[in-house]
């Protein structure tokens, strides 16, 4: 079978992704022996209620256990503009970058909450 691979990402979406990722910043809100919570700031999006961070990332880990376990990571986007189905490539790219920056190369179970763009993923080194 000879299937064609079609790139569904438009040049405009690629520019939007690049702009959001280049402006992506974090602030640590909370840390305990088993978890961290980070506010995720994006240049084009914000929490409509607080006018602050567009979302948060929560990392659950076990410092006392085996280094080969998964880190459970949850990313919650609060801006409903990110819930639009046509922005799934943007949400996916931002979540991927958050995992790369905050978790690094550790095995990770990821849950992204972004309305219709919600998904689960597994990162294995």
* Span 36-47, pLDDT tens digits: 999 999 999 999
pTM of the model: 0.88
Confidence bin at 65 (pLDDT 50/70/90): low
Q: Alpha-carbon distance 14 to 112, whole Å?
A: 20
Q: Which residues have a Cβ under 8 Å from the Cβ of 12 and sit 6 or more positions away?
A: none
Instruction: Indicate the pLDDT class of residue 5, thresholds 50, 70 and 90.
Output: low
Strand-strand pairing, 108-113 and 71-77: parallel
Q: Which residue ranges make up each domain of the chain?
A: 30-123
Express each pLDDT in 66-102 by its tens digit: 556 778 999 999 999 999 999 999 999 999 999 999 9
Residue length of the chain: 125
C-alpha 85 chain-centroid distance: 16
């Amino acid at each position: 079978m000879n299937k064609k691979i079609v790139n569904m990402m438009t040049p405009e979406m690629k520019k939007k992704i690049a702009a959001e990722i280049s402006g992506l910043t974090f602030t640590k809100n909370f840390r305990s022996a088993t978890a961290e919570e980070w506010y995720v700031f994006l240049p084009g999006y914000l929490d409509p209620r607080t006018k602050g961070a567009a979302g948060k990332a929560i990392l659950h880990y076990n410092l006392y256990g085996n280094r080969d376990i998964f880190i459970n990571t949850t990313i919650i986007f609060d801006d409903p503009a990110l819930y639009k189905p046509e922005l799934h490539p943007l949400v996916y790219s931002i979540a991927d970058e958050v995992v790369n920056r905050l978790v690094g190369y550790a095995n990770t179970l990821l849950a992204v909450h972004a309305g219709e763009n919600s998904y689960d993923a597994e990162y294995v080194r």
